[in-house]
Every structure is written in C-alpha cells, then in structure tokens.
Amino acid sequence: MDPNQYLTELRQALKEYRFKDVRSLTDKIDPSAFDLPQIKKALGLIRRKRRFADLEHTASLFSMAGKDAPVIRRQWSQSLLDQGRVSQALATLNTISQKYAQDEVEGPEVRGLTGRAYKQLFVDEGDAECLKSAVAAYTPDWEQRKGEYRWHGINLVALLSRAKEDGIATGSALDPAKIAKQILDEIEQQGATGVWDYSTGMEAAIALKDEEAILSLAQKYVRHPDADAFELSSTLRQLKEVWRLEGTDIGNKLLPVLEYAVLQNEGGSVQPVNLAKGPDKGGFEAVYGAEGVVPLQWIDTMYSCCNAIARVNDAAYGAPAGSGFVVSGKIFAARWGDGLLFLTNAHVISLNPADQPALHPSDAEVEFTRLPGRPRVRLGSLVYSSPRYEMDTSILRIDSPPGSSNLELCSTLPQVGAPATEQRVYVIGHPGGRELAVSLYDNSVAGYARQFVHYRSPTEAGNSGSPVFDRRLKCFAIHHRALEDKQLNEGIILDEIKKAIANIQP
C-alpha cells in the first residue's frame, strides 16, 4: 500500500472508530517508502486518537526501516508513556534530550514529555522527587517561551499548586497564580488558536478559582469541533489526578459535564467520578443551556447504575476474575421473589469444570467499588447456570452490602430488537480488573442473532459479566465474549436468559 492510500484509509478508519483496522492497515505498508511529512502525519493521526499500542507498532516499523528522525523516537516514547511503561519511556526521552536539547521543535517537545513522565510517576507513587523533576522539566520552555510553551506553563500551574497543597518544597520560585493569569491574558489578547487553548484556559481559571471563567471555557471546549472523547478524557485525567477535583464544589459542576461530553462522543473510556453529592446541574446549564437538566438526569442515572456493578475477585488472593451486577430476582422468575441476585458469566464463576471457570462459587467474592468503603461480599447459592457455549451465565444469591439501598440494576427487562442503526450500547465493568469504567468507541449495535447481541464497543479481559446498556441506560444484556474474526463483541440478551429459566422445572 502506497503512503497516500495508507494515510487516506488510516484517517477514515480512525474517523469511524474502526480501531482494530489500524494494525492491519499498517502491516500492509512499506515504511521505507514514506517521507518525513508522511511519517509525521501517520503518527500524528494515531496519536490523536490515543491508539498508543498502534503508535508504538507504527513508530517501530519506521525505525526498523532506518528512519531516524527524532519525532519517531519521541512518538514511540509517547506510546510507552501512555501504556504505563513510564520508566522505559523516560530512558528513551533522556537519550533523545541529550542529542536534541537545542532543537527548536524537538527540544521543547521532549522536555514536555519528560515532565509528563515524572508527573505520572508522582501521581502513581507519590514521590516528591518526581514532582520536583516534573517541575524542572517544564520550567525552561515556559520561561523562554519556546515551542508550545502554554502546555508547559499550565502543567507548572497544576504541579506547583499541588505541591503547595501537599506541602512539598519544589525549589521553584515561580508563582502558579501569576502563570495562570499570564496564560489567560494571552488567550484573551491573542485569541484561542485551537482546542487545547480552551482546555488550558480552563485549568488556568481553576487555579484562579474563577468559576464563571471555568464554565465559560468548558462550554467552548466541549463544543469545539476538534474536542472528541480522547481530548476530553485527557483533560478529565488531569483534573482528577493532579487537581483532585472529585468531591469538590467545582468538581461536582465541572467533571460530570466533561464526562457527559466524553460519553456523547462516539469514542472514549471514562472512569465515573466520585462525587461528594449528586451532579450539580449548574455546570450542565452553564455549558448546555436550559436543556442541561436532561444530561444531568442521564449522568445521574449512569452513576446510580454503577453502584450495582461489582468486580469479581478471588477471595483468597484478591486477584480480579471478571465483572458482574445485581438485579432483583423476580425479573427472571417469580419464585425467586424480591431477593437480590448476582449475574456474571459461567466462565467467571461456575460449578461445572467444562466451563473452565476462573472461580468456584465458594472461592469468589464481589467488591462494590463505587459504594462507600468498597464493601466485599461473599456469594450465596447458585440458582441458575448455563454453559459458557450456550448462555454463559451464572446467577447466584447475594446479600445486600452494608449501607446500600435500592441496589438492583433493573426491576424490568427492556424490549430489544429496534433497528441496529438506532442503537447505542454502553458497557460498564472492570476492564483488565481495573477500576470501574465505561468503555465505548464505535458503540453501535451491529445486529442480533438468536440469544446474542453484537456490538462494536471494545472490551478487555475483566469485562466478562459486565452489564450492557442501551441509549436510555436500560440494562438489556450481559457481556459475554469478543468475536475476533468479526471484530465485534457479543452479549447475551437478558430476556433470552429469562425464557431459558422459564423452561426449567422449579
């Protein structure tokens, strides 16, 4: 495939969120045929959509083909950094920095990424020395106004504000409030030149505690044509991890707005925020106008759903095995009454060795990560199980965790079968055993086949047993498996499980 054809098809695949096509397209190219502008375009397109494993693969192909431009190694380092391989990224960045420190383009970019790496280490490990190193990396290009220096400046604002809050001496004489004001003044005087200026200005307003400016810039940010779920997700991470806005008054207004914006774009991965109270409709109305009450209700419903979703763990070792959720027993069979039941996959929990289950029921516990204190609850008796190659479902008794109320995810089952083009699905679970997350890229329904629903939302190991929601956040299926050959995911329709249970003699 020639470079121009590749770039055209790559751009279209990314635009349509056909992310699994990126690797197959890239493997068809002759990397030696690309010139530097074409290489930059390819890496930039992949990076913008935050496809970091694909970015690593593509940058490696160009490097192995003898292309030695520093941008390739920098983008490769970026891919490692955003895949959590921070130390490996830092080693490469330090090597590049020594060679290209004076380069007007690469010097500031490499120093900025180095600051990002140390920032992530500080967030992950709480090491004050990492915070100091991050500040040191961001400082020179802000002071000398080199490159895209506002990126460096706003990170200085965030980190110096965090250092002051945590009582960490950074050795820097810079005043975060002064930097924030300079950034806002520049944007006001020169005008915003891109989507990141609105995000940067919003962070500067956070530092200055100017709520009106925060929400005004948030409105311009989420409505900008270049702000898709990936940019918004990056901003959410900064506001949660560095600014620690969860549970604050401005966080209750701002974070749900940004989270809603992520979810309403057809791409993204988001961990629902922890709020000290319900979402504040003032943020929605400031951004979306009077109709803000609609997304407020929508996201409030989403948070409520999250309370009934749990991570399945090995009770002895604590290792995650999958996801599951709580429902009222009567939605499946009147004989089960109003008691709570826990649904997951048979390949997660089962008594049948043929299911190759991760856990026997007696070895499992479920952790409600969204409830106060993250209670862990042991499961009761198995009331229904279908083999993994049929319904792949296990239903078990469960006691309500301490301090919870109205926990069941749904009390009725919605009808399914609307045209696939009108459907969107939201899969909420614990991908990779991590914290609860809503995962959706191309989140359309591809179709139905017997007891199955097929959809494109990407999932990971750990999503097994996750509830699948429709656009109105009605749970209608349980996530089952990936169909790699079709590049689709498959869920079991709950109403079909109900029919199977009805055919069993009590």
pLDDT category at 421 given cuts 50, 70, 90 is very low
Give the least confident one: 358-372, 407-421, 433-447: 407-421
Domains of the chain, residue spans? 175-285, 307-506
pLDDT at residue 419 is higher than 50 = no
**Residue 183 is encoded by which pair of tokens?**
């950034």
Amino acid identity at 494:
L
pLDDT at residue 51 is higher than 90 = no
pLDDT at 493: 94
> What is the tens place of the pLDDT at every residue in 198-234?
999 999 999 999 999 999 999 999 989 888 777 888 8
Give the least confident one: 128-132, 174-178, 226-230, 361-365: 226-230
pLDDT at 172: 95
Closest CA to 258 of 290, 308, 224: 224
User: How many CA atoms does the CB half-sphere of 340 hold within 13 Å?
Assistant: 19
Does residue 116 contact residue 74 with C-beta atoms inside 8 Å? no
Phi, psi of 462 (to 5 degrees): 110, -25
pLDDT at 458: 60
Most confident of 7-21, 216-230, 385-399: 385-399
Q: What is d(CA 379, CA 401) in angstroms, rounded to the nearest whole number? A: 11
Give the least confident one: 160-164, 492-496, 500-504: 500-504
pLDDT category at 482 given cuts 50, 70, 90 is confident
- Average pLDDT value for residue range 158-165: 97
> What is the tens place of the pLDDT at every residue in 332-386?
998 898 889 999 999 999 999 999 999 999 999 999 998 888 999 999 999 999 9
Q: What is d(CA 123, CA 266) in angstroms, rounded to the nearest whole number? A: 29
Q: Which residue has the higher pLDDT, 266 or 17?
A: 17
Closest CA to 478 of 392, 411, 407, 408: 392
Does residue 410 contact residue 476 with C-beta atoms inside 8 Å? no
Q: Which residue has the higher pLDDT, 370 or 37?
A: 37
What lies within 8 Å, CB to CB, of 449 at 6+ separation is none
Q: What is d(CA 78, CA 114) in angstroms, rounded to the nearest whole number? A: 10
pLDDT at residue 84 is higher than 80 = yes
Does residue 246 contact residue 258 with C-beta atoms inside 8 Å? no
pLDDT category at 167 given cuts 50, 70, 90 is very high
pLDDT category at 238 given cuts 50, 70, 90 is very high
pLDDT at 420: 44
pLDDT at residue 405 is higher than 70 = no
Sign of CA pseudo-dihedral 300, 305, 308, 314: negative
Give the least confident one: 18-22, 390-394, 450-454: 18-22
Rg (CA), the chain: 24
Burial 44-83 (b: 16+ CB within 10 A, else e): ebbbebbbbebbbbbbebbeebebeebbbbbbbbbbbbbe
pLDDT category at 486 given cuts 50, 70, 90 is confident
pLDDT at residue 459 is higher than 70 = no
pTM summary value: 0.74
E runs forming strands in 221-308: 268-270
pLDDT at residue 441 is higher than 90 = no
What lies within 8 Å, CB to CB, of 448 at 6+ separation is 416, 417, 420, 454, 493
pLDDT at 4: 95
Strands ordered across the beta sheet of 488-493? 268-270, 437-440, 426-429, 467-469, 475-483, 488-493, 452-455, 445-449
Q: What is d(CA 312, CA 97) in angstroms, rounded to the nearest whole number? A: 44
Q: What is d(CA 75, CA 249) in angstroms, rounded to the nearest whole number? A: 37
Closest CA to 162 of 126, 189, 213, 125: 126
Q: Is 242 helix (H, G, I), strand (E, B) or coil?
A: coil
> What is the tens place of the pLDDT at every residue in 290-347?
666 667 788 888 888 898 999 999 999 989 999 999 998 888 998 898 889 999 999 9
Domain 307-506 class, CATH top level: mainly beta
The fraction of the chain above a pLDDT of 90, given in percent, is 58
Q: Using CA atoms in the order 25, 31, 37, 39, what is the torsion angle rounded to 10 degrees?
A: 60
